[in-house]
Amino acid sequence: MAIVAMIIPRTKSAAVAQCSGPHIISQGLWKNITNNTLSSTLSTSSINNDPMVMDQLYDWSEYDQGLALGAYYWIHWLTQLPGGLLARKYGAKIIFGFGNLSTALLGLLIPIATHYHLYGLVAIRVIQGMIAGTMWPAMHDMTAKWIPPMERSRFVSSYLGSSVGAAITYPLCAIVINWFGWGAAFYVTSLIGIIWYTAWYFLVFDTPQQHPRISETERNYIEENTAEIVSSNHDVKVPWSQLLLSGPLWVTIIGHWGGAWGLSDWLLRSGRMSLKNVRKLATFVTTGGGAILTLGLAFSGCEPTLAIFFMMTGTAINGAVSAGTLASLVDLSPNFAGVLLGFCGLITAASGFISPLIVGILTNHKQTVEQWRLVFIIATVNLSVSAIIYSIWGTADVQSWNNCGPSTSVNDEELKKLNDDLIINQDKIDSQKITNKDDTISREKLSTV
């Protein structure tokens, strides 16, 4: 929002001309309003060349605006897989915490860097995106160690706190920008990020065993419900060949591509649905429901109220992804959950490049209702295909390669052999005791004679 606020607005005349009605401002009136607003704003802001004045507006072209807004994602997708690997080595507390702190500190530099050159803003956004790419895979690594399988949907839904944060931040930033200028929005949000990191540092720990204030009962409960599928050995190598050839993983990635609630945990605890079916239901709600709503958006025409309804509802049901593919990645391999999310993010982030590219091709110099309808229909097809594939082939079973590498665990066959040996040895001991007892009785009889 702050980046949009620093740019002189431009009109989309083709789209405005197509939709006429009481809710649409005429093009001529819009130009008058825009010119009057800009003249008053520019007279107080953009003519000031003082480096310490941070609320001036910039006359950036569409290309420049695309650079400023899209720079965050240029390297973001490349660092997701390393994020999962780093979390396995150094722990999620360091990786996730440092990522948030670093992006907050870099945010403090944005107003100054932007004043000197657009590329200063672009450079900071690229670095922020690169660091942020490591963060969510790290959280998945921590989830596998702390959260039992039956409670993961509810916990992973807490990831959507980022959406709640956005819902709060947007109106907050609007107020801050209105009162103090767009530069203040970066300072306020960065300060909140620094305060958050302070709480994270003192309250969060990578595993239940490291937490100094957790109760013994809670620690035992977590260990009992995760011990069989989560290894404490972090030196185990990632089974890349088996991971890359895993059908369930690729099905999950496809489902996540399309979709990129405590209800699910209740369904699991009550026994009404299996874990696999809960994951499928949640993913279908996200992608299938999203497809229906996107199709509605495509044919909403010039009705802004209807379009807003479809967009808001689509955003709301997207929360079900926390009980679907997002949680399924932990189900497939708790030991490599961070790596899986990183790999999944590496693949699905491609949609972040492909989607704007398609939109740009279809709407460049053609900002018409028909062209945007085609954009939404393509999105509908994408969501529908993802929903169908995951609904048919999706799974939540722990994969065999989850326990690859050195392990001290004993499989069923070895356990049976050990048990048989124990029974045989016990029989020998009992037999020897009987023999010794008979010998003792015989000697006692001879002594009495």
Q: Which is more confidently placed, 248 or 332?
A: 332
HSE-CB at 127 with a 13 A cutoff on CA atoms is 14
Q: Which of 185-199, 259-273, 341-355 has the lowest mean pLDDT?
A: 259-273
Judged against a pLDDT cut of 70, whether residue 3 lies above it is answered with yes
**In contact, 57 and 46? CB cutoff 8 Å:** yes
Q: Which is more confidently placed, 334 or 356?
A: 334
pLDDT at res. 327? 72
pLDDT at res. 95? 92
pLDDT at res. 302? 79
pLDDT at res. 239? 74
pLDDT band at 38 (very low <50, low <70, confident <90, very high): very low
Domain ranges, ordered by start, for the chain = 2-206+246-400
- Map residue 165 onto helix, strand or coil: helix
Which range has highest mean pLDDT (10-24, 83-97, 184-198, 312-326)? 184-198
pLDDT at res. 439? 53
Percent of the chain past pLDDT 70, that is, above it, reads 64
pLDDT at res. 199? 95
Q: Which is more confidently placed, 405 or 335?
A: 335
pLDDT at res. 195? 96
pLDDT at res. 387? 84
pLDDT at res. 82? 85
CA distance 145 to 210: 11
With CA atoms as reference, report the closest residue to 2 among 42, 46, 84, 58. 58
- Average pLDDT for the chain: 73
pLDDT at res. 151? 75
Residues 6+ apart with CB under 8 A from 280: 324, 390, 391, 394
pLDDT in tens, 211-253: 998 888 888 888 887 765 555 555 567 777 777 777 777 776 6
pLDDT at res. 148? 80
Residue with token string 């649905």? 273
pLDDT in tens, 352-382: 667 766 777 787 777 788 888 888 898 889 8
Structure tokens at 38: 């800009």
pLDDT at res. 172? 84
pLDDT band at 201 (very low <50, low <70, confident <90, very high): very high
pLDDT band at 37 (very low <50, low <70, confident <90, very high): very low
Percent of the chain past pLDDT 90, that is, above it, reads 13
Judged against a pLDDT cut of 70, whether residue 319 lies above it is answered with no
With CA atoms as reference, report the closest residue to 42 among 61, 27, 55, 29. 55
pLDDT in tens, 389-429: 888 888 878 887 777 654 434 444 544 454 455 445 445 54
Question: DSSP assignment of 363-392, as one string?
Answer: HTT---HHHHHHHHHHHHHHHHHHHHHHHH
b/e for 346-384, b at 16 or more Cβ within 10 A? bbbbebeeeeeeebeebbeeebbbebbbbbbebbbebbb
Judged against a pLDDT cut of 80, whether residue 136 lies above it is answered with no
CA distance 264 to 319: 12
Judged against a pLDDT cut of 60, whether residue 32 lies above it is answered with no
Q: Which of 83-97, 126-140, 181-195, 421-435 has the lowest mean pLDDT?
A: 421-435
CATH of domain 2-206+246-400: 1.20.1250.20
pLDDT band at 41 (very low <50, low <70, confident <90, very high): very low
Predicted model pTM: 0.60
pLDDT in tens, 95-108: 999 999 999 999 99
pLDDT band at 298 (very low <50, low <70, confident <90, very high): confident
pLDDT at res. 329? 75
Judged against a pLDDT cut of 70, whether residue 168 lies above it is answered with yes
